[in-house]
Structure 1
């Protein structure tokens, strides 16, 4: 990501701060892809983002604070895909297929962000994991809406489908194979059809 121009640039303080945060999120994701969360020091984030140590600590109290904010950034991007899928028209199976297609495309588009969201969160401490559980609950609720799941068994089927999706996409991202994500679409759509045949 390009750094801000030196000198006068006409951007507001809020725009500059937003740009700095975005650069640090991308830097964190790129560093963790190579080194993992534990082995990524703040100095590496600063170097890759092209910001000063002072700037980093103006935004975040620690590396974990930066990760939590970056996790929200990654979640927002994926949530947008879910919203578009939820808004799709047609049968539950068609709506799920649209939702899944957008989700897989969003992960493949930015593998570093996907790795942060799916893999490195496990190393980032209990607060990060708590947020991950909340996001998974939100996703399961979205699937329940798509499939009009009302019974406990139907809601469990939504959770099981979500678990299958998460496991499979996490494996591809962990192995550095984001180009393989699109190939998951047909079998996962078929799985959903078997769980929710009507």
Structure 2
């Protein structure tokens, strides 16, 4: 599980002699975590700067030294959540320089789906932030969300060997379907339902075969639940 704003490392009280950069970074991290946590209860519209400050344990002056507005804070919290998610997926996809033999397309997509879904379960506040609350913020946030989805499409397309426009489009529809399904389960606070998506999604990809890309061989075994 990811840490909360209250459990994030607090700075020592009084004169601590820490560099200004470290102080600012610690405050910023607590604010961004607090932003995501506060929205779980009240949504973006219902979350006040005061609620964020209370959770983060920082002053209003400190907040506005780093963010010009609540929307700017959301944008930064969104980027933090995105980078954490992308890092988790990249680790699961495997390092291109890894000397170990590369698994087949289905094995890699299994690892990616599993990491993606598990990350949403492990960090539900951030998941809600970039999957649900983003719609209440504005066009800039929605544009960034669309860019994130295209990154996910690109990763799926690369792993599955999508070499044609039709295969790329199939990967886009797959990513859109996944986004819609996980968003519904995040909104419903249904972590078990999130994890349960993995096997049917993998079986869908398996049955699609070369619809999604040339890396999928007809002989690929059916995916079984773990």
Work out the number of aligned pairs and report it: 198
SS of alignment partner, residue 14 of structure 2? coil
Q: Is it true that 1:191 corresponds to 2:166 in the alignment?
A: no
Q: Is it true that 1:123 corresponds to 2:136 in the alignment?
A: yes
User: Offset of 1:109 from its aligned partner?
Assistant: 0.5
From 41, 57, 64, give the equivalent of 2:48.
Answer: 41
In 1, distance between residues paired with 2:79 and 2:90? 16
In 1, distance between residues paired with 2:126 and 2:186? 10
User: Offset of 1:178 from its aligned partner?
Assistant: 2.0
User: Offset of 1:129 from its aligned partner?
Assistant: 0.5
The answer for the alignment partner of 2:3 in structure 1 is: none
Give runs of aligned pairs for residues 50-65 of structure 1, distance below 5 A: 50-65=57-72
In 1, distance between residues paired with 2:15 and 2:27? 16
The answer for the alignment partner of 1:19 in structure 2 is: 26
In 1, distance between residues paired with 2:84 and 2:176? 20
Contact kept, 8 Å, 1:24 with 1:45, in 2: the verdict is yes
From 88, 96, 99, give the equivalent of 2:109.
Answer: 96
Runs of 4+ in structure 1 displaced over 4 angstroms? none
In 1, distance between residues paired with 2:16 and 2:156? 45
In 1, distance between residues paired with 2:182 and 2:141? 19
Q: Is it true that 1:87 corresponds to 2:94 in the alignment?
A: yes
Q: Is it true that 1:132 corresponds to 2:139 in the alignment?
A: no
SS of alignment partner, residue 12 of structure 2? coil
User: Offset of 1:19 from its aligned partner?
Assistant: 1.4
In 1, distance between residues paired with 2:188 and 2:111? 25
Question: What is the TM-score of this pair, normalised by structure 1?
Answer: 0.95
The answer for the alignment partner of 2:194 in structure 1 is: 181
List per-residue Cα deviations over 1:112-143 (Å, max 9, x = no partner): 01100110001111110111111111111111
User: Offset of 1:16 from its aligned partner?
Assistant: 1.6
Structure 1 unmatched runs, 5+: none
From 39, 51, 74, give the equivalent of 2:81.
Answer: 74
In 1, distance between residues paired with 2:146 and 2:42? 24
In 1, distance between residues paired with 2:15 and 2:107? 50
- What is the root-mean-square deviation of aligned Cα atoms in Å? 1.3
Contact kept, 8 Å, 1:157 with 1:195, in 2: the verdict is no
Higher percent of residues as helix: 1
Considering only CA atoms, is the larger Rg found in Structure 1 or Structure 2?
Answer: 2
SS of alignment partner, residue 36 of structure 1? helix
